[in-house]
């Protein structure tokens, strides 16, 4: 793809939400992990808000058993709205949950066979367009949001993009890591390779893949022909690694903060950080935290 070719806009986003969320059991036995709230919004809502800020119109949820609450969250709750109106309550608190009719599509991943497989399940809806991917359990807080930063970079270089973060070297073995190539700017780097969970000494950098991607539709064909990778799952990182060299591939260093809400500690960190930034609760939460710390 030439850099001067007109780029197809990023209109679609895939949200893989079919995982089992085993790290949060028993909380996630009957409730999807993506519906766990950080303060007063479920994780999926933060990701959808970020997508909309980036101009994405169509939301594709890859769901599985027990995940219907995610879809219902974005439905109109007539009874609730009727009751609230009757009691003179403002309905604007529900505005973020409203989706243009026809812009929410669900596809099913019957068995959670890995992230790569979940993305592949969306192939018919993605069609022949570049698309975004959001892992909703990774909360990206920034202004502009992470995907907006990525779409801006996409408009510059096209092709495939992943969002990366710098971490201490000793932590890389838990993540997908990039091999960086030529720098386009301070925040944009070419990617020459990807490795899933490398040993610290083998890691090509300390830049880890975080949960946002812009990919070309050809990745679906790569996923289709792919064998199982680490953990017996079909890995997205392996499919992306196979596309490097065939299409432009860049990493965007996210200017913002990432919270790993797939882990308990990361979830608590996100909750506390966001609470300390909320004018309606910051003072009280700070006082509570001071008291708890003083009590040791």
Residue 262 binding ligand UTP, by CB under 6 A: yes
Q: Where are the alpha helices (DSSP H) in 55-136?
A: 68-73, 78-86, 115-120, 123-126
Structural tokens at position 95: 């505005």
Q: Does 204 contact ligand UTP by CB under 6 A? A: no
Q: Which of 10, 13, 14, 21 binds ligand UTP (CB under 6 A)?
A: 21
For every residue of 230-258, DSSP letters joined together read: GGGS--HHHHHHHHBTTB-EEEEE-SSEE
Nearer to ligand UTP, 18 or 164 (CB): 18
Residue with the two structure tokens 């880890």: 208
105 contacts ligand UTP (rule: CB under 6 A): no
Q: Which stretch binds ligand UTP (CB under 6 A): 105-113, 146-154, 242-250, 286-294?
A: 105-113
Question: Is 20 in contact with 65 (CB distance < 8 Å)?
Answer: no
DSSP state of 282: H
Site string for ligand UTP, 52-81 (x = CB under 6 A): ----------x-------------------
CA angle 145, 149, 153 (to 5 degrees): 165
Query: What is the SS3 assignment for 151?
Result: helix
Helix and strand element counts for the chain (H, E):
10, 13
Assess contact for 164 and 253: CB atoms under 8 A.
Answer: yes
Eight-class DSSP state of 94: G
Of residues 135 and 153, the one with the C-beta less far from ligand UTP: 135
Q: Report d(CA 48, CA 233) in Å as an integer.
A: 26
Residue nearest to ligand UTP (CB): 19
In angstroms, what is the minimal distance from the CB of 19 to ligand UTP?
Answer: 2
Of residues 106-125, those binding ligand UTP (CB under 6 A): 109, 112-115, 117-118
Shorter beta-carbon distance to ligand UTP: residue 18 or 195: 18
Stretch that binds ligand UTP, among 19-27, 164-172, 247-255, 265-273 (CB under 6 A): 19-27
Judged by CB under 6 A, the stretch of 15-23, 49-57, 73-81, 177-185 that binds ligand UTP is: 15-23
Q: Candidates 2, 5, 22, 143: give the one binding ligand UTP (CB under 6 A).
A: 22
What's the min distance (Å) between Cβ of 276 and ligand UTP?
Answer: 26
Contact 124, 32 (CB under 8 A): no
Tokens 């939301």 locate to 59
Handedness of CA 289, 294, 295, 296 (dihedral sign): positive
CB of 225 to ligand UTP, least distance (A): 18
Nearer to ligand UTP by C-beta: 17 or 208? Answer: 17
Contact residues for ligand UTP, defined by CB under 6 A:
16-23, 33, 62, 109, 112-115, 117-118, 135-137, 262
């Amino acid at each position: 793809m030439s850099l001067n070719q007109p780029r197809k806009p990023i209109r679609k986003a895939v949200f893989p939400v079919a995982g089992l969320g085993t790290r949060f059991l028993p909380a996630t036995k009957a409730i999807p992990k993506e519906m766990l709230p950080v303060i007063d919004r479920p994780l999926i809502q933060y990701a959808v808000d970020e997508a909309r800020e980036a101009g994405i119109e169509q939301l594709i949820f890859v769901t599985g058993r027990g995940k219907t609450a995610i879809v219902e969250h974005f439905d109109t709750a007539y009874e609730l709205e009727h009751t609230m109106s009757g009691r003179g309550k403002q309905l604007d608190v529900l505005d973020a949950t409203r989706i243009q009719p026809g812009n929410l599509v669900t596809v099913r991943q019957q068995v959670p066979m890995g992230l790569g497989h979940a993305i592949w399940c969306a192939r018919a809806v993605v069609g022949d367009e570049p698309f975004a991917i959001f892992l909703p359990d990774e909360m990206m807080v920034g202004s502009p949001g992470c995907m907006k930063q990525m779409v801006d970079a996409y408009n510059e270089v096209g092709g495939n993009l992943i969002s990366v973060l710098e971490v201490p070297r000793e932590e890389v073995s838990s993540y997908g890591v990039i091999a960086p190539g030529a720098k386009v700017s301070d925040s944009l780097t070419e990617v020459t390779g990807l490795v899933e969970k490398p040993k610290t000494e083998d890691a090509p950098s300390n830049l880890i893949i975080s949960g946002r991607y812009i990919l070309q539709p050809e990745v679906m064909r790569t996923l289709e022909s792919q064998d199982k990778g680490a953990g017996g799952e079909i890995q997205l990182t392996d499919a992306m690694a196979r596309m490097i060299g065939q299409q432009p591939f860049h990493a965007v260093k996210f200017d913002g903060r990432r919270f790993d809400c797939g882990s308990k500690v990361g979830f608590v960190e996100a909750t506390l950080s966001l609470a300390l930034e909320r004018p309606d609760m910051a003072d009280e939460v700070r006082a509570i935290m001071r008291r708890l710390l003083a009590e040791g």
